[in-house]
Amino acid sequence: MIENLLTAKKVLVTGASSGIGKAIAIFFSQQGAQVILSGRNKERLDETLKLLTGDGHIIFSSDISKIDDLKALMDFSFNSFGALDSIVHCAGIQKTLPLQAIKEQQFDDIFNINVKSAQFIAKFLRRKGRYNVNGCSLIYISSVAAFCGEPAISTYCASKAALIGLSKSLAVELAKINIRVNTISPGVVQTNMVDGLKQQLSEEQYNQILLNHPLGLGRPEDIAHAAAYLASDLSRWVTGSNLIVDGGYSTH
């Protein structure tokens, strides 16, 4: 395996308290990055922090669905690390909500966390001095649900599709200041979120999900490896792209 891919990179990872975000923070630290861990649960952030390799990593607990909290996170990141080399925006929520059951507040909750936060992270990052002028990478975690429909998650699918559209527009707008913007679209990855989903499904429904992934379900590390590529200098000519990491799910 490649080593020291992210040596001396200064990276902010949102949603770092669990799942994919946690795996990304751990792997990035193993590759030499200095990481700011963000999430709502300070105790779980502390647990992630203990698993990181190297020194100088820090945590900041915030609710990024609130713009004031998000601004505070970006201010803290800049004041602590200076110009950032990368942000990996993993924070997000999924709710199983059939169309007849969804309420306006639930729709707003999903879009506030999954989409609005992504937009304003970019807004606060692009300020002078906050990004590495020699090259900065902004990575959003989308989902194959953005283009592979499933019942009862229409709002989640819409929010993840919005991220892909957002990233393509931002990639063009921010290229002139050397910020690259890309998304990663995972299939079903074995995380606590998916464990919760499993409890809502019949055995037959869950087995169908397994069958729809020719290479099996993913691990958080699979997404971390893809994110490391997009955060590294190896992808210096990649922007506006959506990297599908789904074990073959979207080939159906």
- pTM > 0.85: yes or no: yes
Q: What CA–CA distance (Å, rounded) separates 1 from 82?
A: 30
Catalytic residue among 156, 206, 229, 249: 156
212 DSSP 8-state letter: T
Kindly list the domain boundaries of the chain, sorted by start residue. 10-191+220-242
Return the pLDDT at 194. 67
* pLDDT tens for each residue of 33-75: 999 999 999 999 999 999 999 999 999 999 999 999 999 999 9
**Edge-to-edge strand list for the sheet holding 86-89:** 58-61, 34-39, 10-14, 86-89, 136-141, 179-186, 242-245
Q: What's the average model confidence in pLDDT over 126-130?
A: 96
**Closest to 113 (Cα-Cα) out of 87, 95, 97, 93:** 93
Catalytic site residue 131?
no
- Other C-beta atoms closer than 10 Å to the C-beta of 249 total 22
Q: What is the mean pLDDT of the chain?
A: 94
- Other C-beta atoms closer than 10 Å to the C-beta of 207 total 11
Please indicate whether residue 208 or residue 140 has the higher confidence score (pLDDT).
140
Return the pLDDT at 252. 78
Q: What CA–CA distance (Å, rounded) separates 219 from 87?
A: 21
Fold of 10-191+220-242: Rossmann fold (3.40.50)
Question: Which two three-digit tokens encode residue 178?
Answer: 């050397």
Which residues are CB-contacts of 79 (< 8 A; sequence separation ≥ 6)? Answer: none
Q: What CA–CA distance (Å, rounded) separates 225 from 205?
A: 29
84 DSSP 8-state letter: B
